[in-house]
Each structure stands twice: as structure tokens, then as C-alpha cells.
Amino acid sequence: MSKHIAVLVSGGGTNLQALIDAQARGELINGEITAVISSNPGAYALERAAKAGIPGYVVARKEFPSSQAMTAALVEQLRALDIDLVVLAGFMVILTGEMVRAFPNAILNVHPALIPSFAGPGCYGLHVHEKALEYGVKLSGATVHFVSEECDGGPIVLQKAVEVLPDDTPEVLQRRIMEQCEWQLLPQAVSLFCQDRLKVEGRTVRVLEHPERGTRNAE
């Protein structure tokens, strides 16, 4: 039975599109995107979902008095949709611990740097690539990790690096990392999760050759 995947978005949805395209190619093995939930009613990602025939929902931050209230509503929505895996794909809202406790080792995020570099509070979007260029790194990349209560601090699932070139701007580096890292890693990680091939052991995630029942929530 396929696992139900919800993708949480706030903007254009390029990583969502990578997942939609992977699903169309049959690469999300044992998984199906059954919901796209946006914190922004005007997000173009909702149009991408509609074009792919995926139901879209809005849980807008401005409709709630606090992040905790929004998180509670989101958890309720996800449970009502019988979701097995939550994917944060450019979701620009800070969620409280209730989300992690409701879906332990079942929330994936993609971060546009090689964690632990250029990660944590304030490191999002172009800011990440600006910091990387300011620091003078020769390599950057992307990380897919499980979400914990620490910002960008959950166990790392997959990483991929690209070269930083001398004439790179933040926008050019961002595009290279999206195309060569994020859009490849995220579908791979989602597919591995849906096949029960990710085993969490403390801070380490082992990728299993063969599915193992009940591994995704292991500690």
C-alpha cells in the first residue's frame, strides 16, 4: 500500500515540481503525493498541484493567533488526510514541537547548504548562498534531513555537493544547487522513506539495501 505524502509549501514550489515530475516518472516508489498544503493562499505551488491533479489546501499563518495554534491546525489537517510523510518544500513558517511529536522521523526538509554549514535561524533562501560566498567556501550543496525541534538540526538523510565558481553570484549558485542537488536529492529521499529504507540511529540515518518494517520511526 502506497504511503500518503503531503508537501508543505509557501511560494513558487520548484521542489514540489521536482517531486511531481519524479512521481510522473514512477520514481516515488511506494509513495504518492496526496496533498499540497500552503501557508500562502496565493502561492504558485498550488497551481502546480492543481495542474498535476493533486488536492491543494491552505492553512494560512495569518488566520491563527500563534505559531502553536497554526501547528495544531496543520497536524489536525494532516491526520485527517491520513498522511504518512510530510515534506517541507519551501515552507516559510516556523512550526512548533507539536508537529515533530505528531510525525516523529516522518518529516523531511531540504536545506540549500551542506549542514551544519550555513544552517539554523536566519539561513534560508538567498541568505544561505550570500553567506556561503562571503565565507569563501569552495563547495556548497544541499541537505535532506529529518526535521527535529532544533532548526535544521535533525538527522541527515542525503547530501550532495557542487563546486562554487569564482564568478558566482548568490542567484547563480542558488540555481546550480537547486538543479544539481535539491531537485535530485529530495525525490530520492522521499522514495527511500516510502520504501522503508531509512533507519534512524541517533544522529545517523542508515540507507538500507532492502526494506525493513517499522524502521522509519526507529531511534
Q: What are phi and psi of 13, to 5 degrees?
A: 80, 35
- The residue from 4, 111, 129, 145 that is catalytic is 111
| Cα 13 from chain centre | 11
Active-site residue flag, 111: yes
| Element housing 67 (H / E) | helix 67-80
Q: Which long-range contacts link 71-80 to residues 24+ away (Cβ below 8 Å)? A: 71/95, 71/96, 71/98, 71/99, 72/98, 74/8, 74/37, 74/99, 75/99, 75/102, 75/103, 77/37, 78/6, 78/35, 78/37, 78/102, 78/103
Q: In b/e form, how buried is each residue of 3-21, taking b as 16+ CB within 10 angstroms?
A: bbbbbbbbbebbbbbbbbe
Q: In b/e form, how buried is each residue of 202-218, taking b as 16+ CB within 10 angstroms?
A: eeebeeeeeeeeebbee
Spatial neighbors of 69 by CB under 8 A, at least 6 apart, are none
Active site residues: 111
